Amino acid sequence: MGLSASAYARHRGVSHVAVLKAIKTGRIAKETDGTIDPDKADAAWEKNTDPAQQRKPAKKAEQAPERPIDPPLVGSGPNYAQSRAIKEAYLARLAKLEYEEKSGVVVRADAVKVAWFNTLRVLRDRLTNLPDRLAPILAAEDDPKLVREMLDAELRLILTDAADTVAALDKGS
């Protein structure tokens, strides 16, 4: 009993086009009724087909590999799909950072460092200028309570200005 070209293709595990090509090139022959005898065609296929031109049969998922997979060679990188996935992941991270920066959730570290450096420099300068500014005034005072109140008022003014500057920096970011 012969098979049609499609049925023989399923039997052989190849495409319908491959069977038609084998018939056309004379590697296998049809019977007089136009069907293909699978036993004769299998033998002719094996005999007349170049093994170098054959595709390797796909391994089934349930079969265990014959040998363990070799580790990648030193210096070999990821394949194209892995490289593309890595690139897409980094692009997504960059997009997220850009969004968060524009929405004010995150700020650039260098901008924060510069702002804090300037704020603390102003605070340091005002504190180091305090003795030069208050020394003549305090030297003329005899009342220790009044001297303490003047020092306290000046220190609070400097620290309040620094806190206002920090609050402005926080709102600006």
Residue type, 159: L
Q: Which two tokens stand for residue 154?
A: 């000046």
What's the chain's length in residues? 173
User: How many angstroms separate the Cα of 155 from the Cα of each of 70, 80, 147, 166?
Assistant: 72, 64, 12, 17
Residue 171 has what pLDDT?
A: 73
Residue 87 has what pLDDT?
A: 93
Measured in whole angstroms, the distance separating CA 145 from the mean position of its chain's CA atoms is 65
Please name which of 111, 116, 130, 107 lies closest in space to residue 162, comparing C-alpha atoms.
Answer: 116
Residue 173 has what pLDDT?
A: 52
Give all strands (DSSP E) within the chain, no chain letters. Answer: none
Task: Tell me if the pTM is above 0.75.
Answer: no
Q: What is the DSSP string of 37-58?
A: -HHHHHHHHHHHS-GGGSPPPP
Q: Write out residues in the chain with pLDDT < 70, as ranges.
A: 1, 55-76, 172-173
Residue 7 has what pLDDT?
A: 92
